[in-house]
Homo-oligomer: A and B are copies of this chain.
Amino acid sequence: MSRYAPTLVRLIGELVRLPGIGPKTAQRLTFHLLKTGREEALALAQAIVELKERIRSCAVCYNISEGEQCPICADPTRDGSVLCVVEEANDLWAIEKTATFKGRYHVLGGSLSPLEGRGPDQLTAKALLQRLEGGEVKEVILATNPNVEGEATAMYLSRLLKPLAVRATRIARGLPMGSDLEYADEVTLSKALEGRRDV
């Protein structure tokens, strides 16, 4: 590695900081960018620069946005009586892809994680409560991730919502479609049993 040109070492170093990119992949990508056309490589660099310059968070729901409001908040056809609370903007897009939810969103900006120093003040929970003051929202769906931090965050939010005249629900945790009971982990299986419904 020491014999690489410093410019290469630097790019490899920057790439390794990305999630899921190890030293080998970083090296392969660097050599690819070296071989690739000047225009294509610079287009990538430019796209990164513009990402940081153009993207901000929606003033209403904290979704990523290029304007003051994100496309979903700006869409008058969305149902304002249901609010889906997610941790990050990519969770929002995952739900949007299902094309089954027609309500609005609220992006928390993460989950409660004392270990990583993220408390309630790091989340947009206060803004969520302010949005509920109008009285338009009838249901808040807590769609944080079904892991330790996400569950704790949902629990925390449900307590915040309790005094308000709003229904708080949590997305179902159970066996994923197409999976096998035999290979399911105990926690998922017990959640699936716990969440059973009449057919």
Contact = CB atoms under 8 A, between A and B. Distances in A.
B34 A29 contact: no
Nearest to A72: B3
Contact of A20 (B14, B25, B96): B25
B31 A17 contact: no
**Total copies of the chain:** 2
A79 to B, nearest CB: 16
A52 B42 contact: yes
Contact of A7 (B1, B40, B51, B97): B51
Contacts of A55: 5, 7-8, 34
Given A20-B25, A66-B7, A51 B32 contact: no
A28 B20 contact: yes
Interface residues of A, number: 55
A44 B40 contact: no
Contacts of A50: 7, 10-11
A114 interface: no
A46 to B, nearest CB: 7
Nearest to A19: B32
Interface of A: 1, 3-8, 10-11, 13-15, 17-21, 25, 27-35, 38, 40-52, 54-55, 64-66, 70-72, 88-90, 93, 96-97
